[in-house]
Structure 1
């Protein structure tokens, strides 16, 4: 294999490849990237056996071929090369080395046989549809904070992507929960997505997909089966296994009868929570909300470190209410609000609270209270 490629294109491809590769590998080949040069393209394939990313870039290929080389090492080398340089890659099967040249720099890297590299088996997909990058990013970006990190409840370690019925009709919905808070985000159902099987997209896959969605107007082709999901642009294809498990019936957690309504400036609310929680104990991070007519008092009382309170002007016309929350959960939910105001709907101090952006029901959040 012999090819030359622009340093910027190679760096972009290697950045994606090395982020998929696990840092510690018991299988040496999984630390490598598979480089395949043919025609006017060169492709870079990396996998951890659960996710596979393939990145294509334009190159001058003088000799077709393929090899595998350490993804982290090649990424570090390319990162340190001068901007605007052209990088020459020359793999020699006889020596088992790949030469990397750029200007006066020369590296000779060990390779492993291409035949040893595991390629994720292609599968038949039940559903294929296309959507804009901005829509997909909103679904994943707004839900990801609620993904559980508890390995015991592995079926909560991702985002549940499925079609659901809402007042506005059939929607493409992303849901995540860790049992303490829940995010439920809707988007218009794309053509061809009606029969999408409900799948749980793993946390790492969500992180990698969000890196592909930089261009809002780019079309993303999505293919879904019961075991895999694939996201593709003309240059990049990311394929991932989905979590083998059943997502719980989240609709039972979403309160329908909460009538006590508080409207507050989302930015002011987040800053106030952040300020008063400075003195709270790290373990509970508990903050109390005391609501009265058009007034909210946020307070923290931590015997070991001190106390704090702050008053905010809000729109609230119901009976007095005191309720406590984990400050971290309130901050994460408030940070999802794109509009100026957040609306909180309460029932009692012991019931889940619902939050949305103004009157927009396409993104709703639920947070469980705690005793303070």
Structure 2
């Protein structure tokens, strides 16, 4: 294999694929990126961790077609350190790959292409398109609530499912048992009959990086009950789905919470952030005392002392006190884009519903804490 590629193009493509590669691998080939140069020009780069696979196609001048695998992180680091605008020559033969750019010369160890594992997609019967902006909205407004507990593996991703309501919708939900985030969008054409799927956290993170560079585009999504493929720009991201059943999260969304507090999310978040400065790392508990159009935030820490702050808000119901994990509360408030947010409360032990208003596509549920 012999090809010449522009340094910027190589760096950008390697940036997409190398982040899938784990730093430590017991299987050496999984540390490598597969480079395939084709007759008509163009190079295909591929990396995988056996659950997730990224393929990126990039323009190049190909002298000799062929394929080889080489350390993904090493090649990425080389490309990163090469001078701007340089032309990178890659020449693979006899178990080695020469990388030349300007006066720099590298001779890298390779592994044969035949050893490289490729995820078999099988049939992907459901196929639809989503604007990149919609996918960004889904990810940003739910990702923070994905569980990191490996024992509850079925919560380690975003749950995507379609529902026939007054108008058919696509819903994305994530929960870690303490908080729940859900986004509802109109169902895209082609998504009818789609199986319920759980997209793993690592796939979500890699997809989000790719979306940053293709935010104006449309994303082609193809899926079955076990695999999902995202095609955007010159990149194709294929992932296995989590094999498990997502719990019926609708049961924890409160419908009868009649105490409504209206606040400005930004000033409220700043107040929570200030008083939680002295909260202990373990509990991060902040208490909210509700009175007539008055909210008092307070934190009591045996080690650090106490803090309190009054924040403005509209509240006309009976006064009571409720406690929340400040980090969870700040995560939710950080995703509110408008100048107003509604907290639908019941009592100190019932889950609280948080949303901008009843027309907002995003909805959050937060479990209270004893404080």
TM-score under structure 2 normalisation?
0.98
In structure 2, the partner of 1:183 is 181
Contact 2:142–2:172 under 8 Å retained in 1: yes
**Over residues 132-165 of structure 1, what are the superposed CA-to-partner deviations in whole Å (9 max), with x where a residue is unaligned?**
1000111011100000011111000000011124
Distance in structure 1 (CA, Å) of the matches to 2:164 and 2:148: 28
Distance in structure 1 (CA, Å) of the matches to 2:219 and 2:293: 45
Is 1:201 aligned with 2:226?
no
Pairing 1:168-247 to 2, within 5 Å after superposition: 169-214=167-212, 215-247=214-246
Shift of 1:269: 0.9
Distance in structure 2 (CA, Å) of the matches to 1:196 and 1:316: 42
Distance in structure 2 (CA, Å) of the matches to 1:8 and 1:197: 40
Distance in structure 2 (CA, Å) of the matches to 1:164 and 1:23: 40
Distance in structure 1 (CA, Å) of the matches to 2:161 and 2:85: 44
In the alignment, structure 2 segments of 5+ residues that lack a partner are none
Distance in structure 1 (CA, Å) of the matches to 2:357 and 2:307: 29
Pairing 1:61-72 to 2, within 5 Å after superposition: 61-72=62-73
Q: Look up the SS of the partner of 2:34 in the other structure.
A: strand
**Over residues 183-220 of structure 1, what are the superposed CA-to-partner deviations in whole Å (9 max), with x where a residue is unaligned?**
01111211111111110000000000111112332010
In structure 2, the partner of 1:160 is 159
Is 1:19 aligned with 2:19?
yes
In structure 1, the partner of 2:282 is 283
In structure 1, the partner of 2:337 is 338
**Over residues 38-80 of structure 1, what are the superposed CA-to-partner deviations in whole Å (9 max), with x where a residue is unaligned?**
1221010000000000000011111111000000000000000
Distance in structure 2 (CA, Å) of the matches to 1:2 and 1:121: 28
**Over residues 200-249 of structure 1, what are the superposed CA-to-partner deviations in whole Å (9 max), with x where a residue is unaligned?**
00000000011111233201000110000000024110000000000000
Q: Look up the SS of the partner of 1:119 in the other structure.
A: coil
Distance in structure 1 (CA, Å) of the matches to 2:42 and 2:316: 64
**Over residues 68-99 of structure 1, what are the superposed CA-to-partner deviations in whole Å (9 max), with x where a residue is unaligned?**
0000000000000011111111111xx21001
Distance in structure 1 (CA, Å) of the matches to 2:121 and 2:143: 27
Contact 1:323–1:370 under 8 Å retained in 2: yes
TM-score under structure 1 normalisation?
0.97
Shift of 1:122: 2.6
Shift of 1:360: 3.0
Shift of 1:9: 0.9
Distance in structure 1 (CA, Å) of the matches to 2:126 and 2:151: 30
In structure 2, the partner of 1:47 is 48
Distance in structure 1 (CA, Å) of the matches to 2:236 and 2:64: 24
Distance in structure 2 (CA, Å) of the matches to 1:109 and 1:327: 50
Pairing 1:97-108 to 2, within 5 Å after superposition: 97-108=96-107
Q: Look up the SS of the partner of 1:56 in the other structure.
A: strand
In structure 2, the partner of 1:326 is 325
Q: In the comparison of the two structures, how many residue pairs are matched?
A: 369
In structure 2, the partner of 1:75 is 76
In structure 1, the partner of 2:118 is 119
Is 1:10 aligned with 2:5?
no
Q: What is the root-mean-square deviation of aligned Cα atoms in Å?
A: 1.0
Q: Look up the SS of the partner of 2:23 in the other structure.
A: coil
**Over residues 320-350 of structure 1, what are the superposed CA-to-partner deviations in whole Å (9 max), with x where a residue is unaligned?**
0210001111010101101111111001111
Seen in structure 2, the aligned counterparts of structure 1 residues 165 and 259 have a Cα distance that, compared at 3 Å, is farther
Contact 1:339–1:358 under 8 Å retained in 2: no
Shift of 1:19: 0.6
Distance in structure 1 (CA, Å) of the matches to 2:210 and 2:79: 20
Q: Look up the SS of the partner of 2:151 in the other structure.
A: coil
Shift of 1:358: 3.3
In structure 2, the partner of 1:36 is 36
